[in-house]
Amino acid sequence: MMNIGVIGAGRIGKVHCESIAYHVKDASVTAIADPVWTEDSKKWARDMGICACIDYHEILNNPTIDAVTICSPTQTHAKISKEAIHAGKHIFCEKPVSQDVSEIKAVMKELKNSNVKYQVGFNRRFDHNFRAVRNAAQDGRIGDVHLLKITSRDPDAPPIAYVKGSGGMFMDMTIHDFDMVRYLTGSEVEEVYANAAVLVDPEIGKAGDVDTAIVSLKLRNGALAVIDNSRRAVYGYDQRAEVFGSMGQVEIGNDSPSRSVISTVHGVTAEKPLHFFLERYMEAYTNEIKEFVDAVQNDTDVPVTIEDGLQAVLIAKAANRSIKEHRPVALTEMQN
């Protein structure tokens, strides 16, 4: 049995705890650390049978804990990662590893001198829909990839306090889509051109961010990709993708509570998409932890590496520069 410590008792930390407890048979959560505990969170930890602590160093210093999941605020990820490496703990780290490229590279340097497994939390790679697209694109069924289209729209904008600390929409939201471009095409991004606006909430603009965007990308294999984002889709969580190739195309639509379609004299109606990411991707969250545990126990490569984490951050930074400078930005410009 693999013992895991969770660092960060917010929404995503609790998701991982419950995924492990209910669905990962070869692992258990020994402890969870967070500097601030509400009475409700304390009760949740007690009900889960998990030891709750304030200082995450209690987890790092516990010799019975084999691995950690880092679910704390983004600005702490790199620091805790390096400490966990020194403690010899295998690491599952939520994205991004850092918004600072030099900090990610510092973590990579520490990993080279260790035997620690390090997986980054890009959960969409473990979703059944996106995996089906990846498989069709990579096994030759649609020929050479020419075009990729990704639609990613949230049901509502996050609170302004969250926006101010998120690193911006490209680093917080679109970063998943940037990872999907690499995952679905099997190719690296070479150039990024972004257009963006504030159309959902003027307060987001006042906070220095955008809420609506179209990003065009050129890939090393010659393919082209386009991503459209919005912080508010009134009908639910809109997650679609299409890969077009020389021999055909593969596409996925949204998951909904059912596939029922009602046809009457008044019209034809179907159910709206699942409302938010926790509904849409719960199975994916479980799958990514299962594969992390499997990699540790069988000493195999993790499915999402820190290099994958670095590339997504570089693309996000290139998109931000493209908006500011009104031009295409080569990824080679973002390496330092």
CATH of 2-116, one of 3.40.50.1100, 1.10.287.1260, 3.40.50.720, 3.20.20.70: 3.40.50.720
Rounded to whole angstroms, the Cα distance separating 2 from 25 reads 10
What does the CA dihedral 87, 124, 302, 184 come to, rounded to 10 degrees?
-140
- Give the tens place of pLDDT for each residue, 25-72: 999 999 999 999 999 999 999 999 999 999 999 999 999 999 999 999
In order along the chain (336 residues), what is the average pLDDT of each group of 10 residues?
96 94 94 95 94 97 98 96 98 97 97 96 94 94 97 94 93 97 98 98 97 98 98 93 97 81 83 70 92 97 98 98 98 86
Residue 261: per-residue pLDDT: 79
What's phi and psi for 40, nearest 5 deg? -65, -40
CATH of 125-278+312-334, one of 3.30.420.40, 2.40.50.140, 3.30.70.20, 3.30.360.10: 3.30.360.10
Domain boundaries, the chain: 2-116, 125-278+312-334
Residue 277: per-residue pLDDT: 63
Pairing of strands 145-153, 238-245: antiparallel
Q: Of 211, 215, 204, 199, nearest to 312 (Cα)?
A: 215
Q: Which residues of 250-272 are buried (b: 16+ CB within 10 A; e: fewer)?
A: bebebbeeeeeeeeeeeeeeeeb
Residue 304: per-residue pLDDT: 98
Query: Which conformational region is residue 186 in: left (phi greater than 0), alpha (psi within -120 to 50 degrees), or beta?
Result: left
Residue 280: per-residue pLDDT: 67
Helix 128-138 with 174-185: angle, nearest 10 deg:
30
Rounded to whole angstroms, the Cα distance separating 121 from 105 reads 17
Residue 257: per-residue pLDDT: 77
- Are the C-beta atoms of 234 and 157 separated by less than 8 Å? no
Rounded to whole angstroms, the Cα distance separating 225 from 148 reads 4
Give me the residues paired with residue 6 across strands. 32, 69
Q: Is the dihedral of CA 252, 184, 16, 8 positive or negative?
A: negative
H helix or E strand, kind and range, residue 240: strand 238-245
Residue 279: per-residue pLDDT: 65
269-277 own/partner pairs: CB under 8 Å, 24+ apart: 272/235, 272/236, 273/235, 273/236, 273/237, 273/238, 273/239, 274/236, 274/237, 275/155, 275/236, 275/237, 276/154, 276/155, 276/236, 276/237, 277/237
Rounded to whole angstroms, the Cα distance separating 146 from 53 reads 51
